[in-house]
Amino acid sequence: MVAKLTKGFWTKVARIILRNRILILVGIVAITVFLALQWKNIKFSNTEANILPDDHPATIQYNAFTKIFGEEGNAIVLAVRDTALFTPKNFNRWNRLAKQLDALPEIDFVVSLENLKVLEKDDKTQAFVMEPFIKTPPKTKAEIDSLKNHLFNELPFYDNLVYNPKSGTIQTIAYLDKDILNTAVRNEFILNDLGDLVKTFEEDTQLDVRVSGMPYIRTWNTKSIVDEIGIFIGAALLVTSLIFFFFFRSFRATFISMCIVIIGVMWAFGILGLLQYEITILTALIPPLIIVIGIPNCIFLINKYQQEVKKHGNQALSLQRVISKIGNATLMTNITTASGFATFIILDSDLLREFGIVASINIIGIFVLSLLIIPIIYSFMALPKTKHLKHLNKKWIDFFVHRMERIVRDHRIAVYMVTVGVLVLSVIGIYQMKITGSRIEDLPKNTQFYKDIQFFEEEFDGIMPMEIVVDTERKNGVIKPTTLKRMDQLGTVIDEIPELSRPISIVDLIKYSKQAFYNGIPKYYQLPTSQENTFIMDAARKSSTDGNLLESFVDSTGQIARLTTYMQDVPIDRMEEIEKDVQEAITKSFPPDRYNVYMTGKALLFLKGTKYLVKNLVMSLALAIGLISLFMAYLFRSFRMVIISLVPNLLPLLITAGLMGYLGIPIKPSTILVFSIAFGISVDDTIHFLAKYRQELATHKWHIKRSVYAALRETGVSMFYTSIVLFFGFSVFILSSFGGTKALGGLVSATLLFAMLSNLILLPSLLLSLERSIANKEVLKKPQIDILPQEEDNPKDN
């Protein structure tokens, strides 16, 4: 009953489309214009992806930290490692660069040699005063050498902050105004004003300036994403159009298909603007994805039209059958593909949720466009000529399909042996996989800003901030000697961890105060004794030093302090070890009943976010498999058919996972996306094959062998066509400079290729081998929906 209703529904849809051609085209144009007007709302992401949900403990702690101390990722660092810097001309030019930066409205303040302060004791007032490190611009090399000696050997407070004594690297830190940190103004400033200043300096001095810092990295990362969108869209259009033309040898068929996917791309950008979603590294993939996924729709529809024309030459009937017969099957396959993307919607990650929403909407959108435009446009054209139908008789395609049929008929035992062998090897490979990744691992490695990241990691032990917040739970508890001593102990442990930089905290300021109290003698750079503490604190209270220095380390009540260190780019498993070691040191130094101490910062958020994302993406994959299994059960009303249909689609996922293990490709957010996407797409071939198999069963009076071979011959060509398009279409992402996007493209392409072979060889083999098990009334009863209605007789020529 439902099947009849379905057939009647699609016949009615075909009638509506063909009778309202002009109205529908006008509607498509109107929607396209409306969505094009939404492009003005498109913005590129200036903020970091919010991976963890707002109620996650790590997010709550980080928000509490920023409420007290502000955003910690607002520093841009510039450095020079060259002895030529220490000449009067270059040294003074470096200091002038710092002044120029400090004068810009986008910069809050600058820490550099030019404005460096030295803490000294005023013997008359018995107070501390901040004196300029450089009182007058040096004019001779001897003056510069004296300043350099003073800095490197007598000011340990600034070690790893503005200099590296081992290499002689000098660093300037410019802190961005926090109001522009997550806005487009930041990008304009970094790409234009900052870039111009650095370029001019390099031209004047012939010195190489290294620039980095989280705002700088995020800006250039955004620019790289923007630059790649056009490359992906162009490459996807070029590759798919060439393959399409190679298969069909028809300029007009190729042109029509390209117009459809271009409109789909316009809709994709329009929906992003309409929903006011920002373009991120994931949503930037949607336009080329629509091209790659849309072309198979065109292949099925145009191929069916040409088959019908060749069969009976009646254009009106051919167009009606394209809609009524292929429309339902194409809708089912697009729904399964969209389901693979839609599973991301349930995740708490804004990045993935937005990607899932826009991708699934546009997949259904490109289906609607294909179903409407292809029959309508062809209805205005003359019937395809004989040369346009030649591709239907290509011998090499027939050879490929017959080869698959021969393997299924004569070598099923070998097929199962190979399958089991590949499965065993895949499982072994899976056990070698690691959940890892790093914050900069997927960044473009051939760019200057990536090389600069490596430079700063080498020179200053990283740029990813990790914060330890010490809440003494009492006013002015931070400056108590016992608290300072505990913080110093913790700092020593952190300093001994190779991947972490020397920590900076109120402890360093107190040590510096003691050094200043003893007239700047470096050996006194240590915490004061109990007796010294009274005199030093008394001198500090009389001082009129810059309050910003203290505010950077302690809150206004003196109750909460921060200890800041920087982490190198390390794999997640090593980050977990570091977190464990630091947590053990915290527990040992700070009794939980007297102190509330916790770790936070961008480095820790990245660790927690990645683990959270991987866990949720596994759930997303499980949900995709579950949803599509229910969908298949509803279509075929048979549990056994569901199992049979899942096997050839799960095997490619296992093969890909095994390859990742052997090739050392880790499980991380950018690679685990592969499985949900590939599964949603690869199951389309299974639906087409089983739908045709079901149809052939009725035609051949439930004779399974004949039905399997007939279905293989009929769907093998379309499977091959669409799989090749998808393979090369997803391969364009390998052109990306982002490691994650490159891995996504390569792995999805490989998985879809495995899925094609699995559906062409393993699926029909299983149907034949399990013939007796599935040849019963329960399995072979009519499905809920006829995906492919029965063929009608050819009309007589009029």
Q: Domain locations in the chain? A: 2-48+219-374+401-431+607-780
What's the rounded mean pLDDT across residues 742-755? 86
How far apart, in whole angstroms, are the C-alpha atoms of residue 399 and residue 755?
20
Beta carbons of 468 and 586 less than 8 angstroms apart: yes
Beta carbons of 735 and 750 less than 8 angstroms apart: no
pLDDT digits (tens, 9 = 90+) for 476-500: 888 888 988 999 999 999 989 888 8
Cβ neighbours, 10 Å, residue 141: 12
Of 633 and 541, more confident: 633
Q: What's the pLDDT at 130?
A: 81
Say if residue 303's pLDDT is above 60. yes
Beta carbons of 685 and 707 less than 8 angstroms apart: no
Q: Which of 41-55, 120-134, 400-414, 662-676 has the highest mean pLDDT?
A: 400-414
How far apart, in whole angstroms, are the C-alpha atoms of residue 620 and residue 342?
9
Residue type, 583: Q
**How far, CA to CA in Å, does 540 sit from each of 130, 519, 560?**
12, 14, 19
pLDDT digits (tens, 9 = 90+) for 211-250: 988 888 888 887 887 788 888 888 888 888 888 888 777 7
C-alpha dihedral, 311 to 313 to 319 to 324, nearest 10°:
-30
Task: Give the residues across from 119 on adjacent strands.
Answer: 130
pLDDT tier for residue 742 given thresholds of 50, 70 and 90: confident
Q: What's the pLDDT at 411?
A: 86
DSSP string, 699-763: HTTT-HHHHHHHHHHHHHHHHHHHHHHHHHHHHGGGG-SSHHHHHHHHHHHHHHHHHHHIIIIIH
Q: What is the greatest pairwise CA distance in the chain?
A: 116
Nearest to 457 by CA among 500, 496, 494, 491: 500
pLDDT tier for residue 341 given thresholds of 50, 70 and 90: confident
- CA 636-642-648 angle, to 5 degrees, is 125
How far apart, in whole angstroms, are the C-alpha atoms of residue 356 and residue 335?
13
Task: Give the residues across from 418 on adjacent strands.
Answer: none
Task: Give the residues across from 110 on adjacent strands.
Answer: 174
Burial zone of 21 (CB within 10 Å; 0-12 exposed, 13-18 middle, 19+ buried): middle
How far apart, in whole angstroms, are the C-alpha atoms of residue 712 and residue 715?
5
C-alpha dihedral, 370 to 373 to 376 to 382, nearest 10°:
-90
Q: What's the pLDDT at 666?
A: 79
The tokens of 382 are what?
């003359």
The tokens of 316 are what?
């009106």
pLDDT tier for residue 1 given thresholds of 50, 70 and 90: very low
What's the rounded mean pLDDT across residues 448-456? 85
Q: What's the pLDDT at 200?
A: 93
Polymer length of the chain: 798
Cβ neighbours, 10 Å, residue 144: 19
What's the rounded mean pLDDT across residues 571-583? 86
pLDDT digits (tens, 9 = 90+) for 57-73: 888 888 888 888 877 67
Say if residue 546's pLDDT is above 50. no
What's the rounded mean pLDDT across residues 29-55? 81
Of 181 and 524, more confident: 524
Say if residue 28's pLDDT is above 90. yes
Whole-number average pLDDT of the chain? 82
List of residues 6+ apart from 563 with CB closer than 8 A: 467, 468, 469, 470, 487, 490, 491, 494, 503, 504, 505, 507
Q: What's the pLDDT at 94?
A: 93
Of 738 and 210, more confident: 210
CATH 1.20.1640.10 is held by the domain 2-48+219-374+401-431+607-780: yes
Cβ neighbours, 10 Å, residue 794: 12
Say if residue 362's pLDDT is above 90. yes
Nearest to 600 by CA among 66, 67, 70, 62: 62
Say if residue 779's pLDDT is above 50. no
Nearest to 305 by CA among 378, 240, 243, 255: 378
Q: What's the pLDDT at 357?
A: 92
Of 44 and 475, more confident: 475
Beta carbons of 528 and 514 less than 8 angstroms apart: yes
Residue 392: strand, helix, or coil: helix
Of 83 and 795, more confident: 83
Beta carbons of 297 and 330 less than 8 angstroms apart: yes
What's the rounded mean pLDDT across residues 272-301? 85
pLDDT digits (tens, 9 = 90+) for 9-18: 777 888 888 8
First to last CA, the chain: 34
Q: What's the pLDDT at 392?
A: 58
Q: What's the pLDDT at 388?
A: 59
Listed range (105-119, 192-206, 338-352) with the worst mean pLDDT: 338-352
DSSP string, 108-164: EEEESTTT-EEEEEETTTTEEEEEES-SS---SHHHHHHHHHHHHHH-GGGBTTTEE
- What whole-number percentage of the chain has pLDDT above 70? 89
Nearest to 441 by CA among 45, 64, 52, 740: 740
How far apart, in whole angstroms, are the C-alpha atoms of residue 76 and residue 211?
7
C-alpha gyration radius of the chain? 33
Q: What's the pLDDT at 635?
A: 67
Of 262 and 644, more confident: 262
**How far, CA to CA in Å, does 730 sit from each of 656, 740, 756, 792?**
15, 13, 15, 37
pLDDT tier for residue 439 given thresholds of 50, 70 and 90: low
Beta carbons of 88 and 139 less than 8 angstroms apart: yes
What's the rounded mean pLDDT across residues 157-173? 87
pLDDT digits (tens, 9 = 90+) for 366-379: 999 999 998 889 88
Backbone φ and ψ of 166, nearest 5°: -70, -40
Beta carbons of 181 and 107 less than 8 angstroms apart: no
Of 613 and 301, more confident: 301
Q: What's the pLDDT at 573?
A: 78
What's the rounded mean pLDDT across residues 502-521? 86
Q: What's the pLDDT at 566?
A: 86
**How far, CA to CA in Å, does 158 sit from each of 102, 113, 120, 234, 661?**
19, 10, 15, 50, 45
How far apart, in whole angstroms, are the C-alpha atoms of residue 35 and residue 274?
7
Nearest to 708 by CA among 298, 412, 304, 322: 412
Q: What's the pLDDT at 394?
A: 63
Q: What's the pLDDT at 757?
A: 87
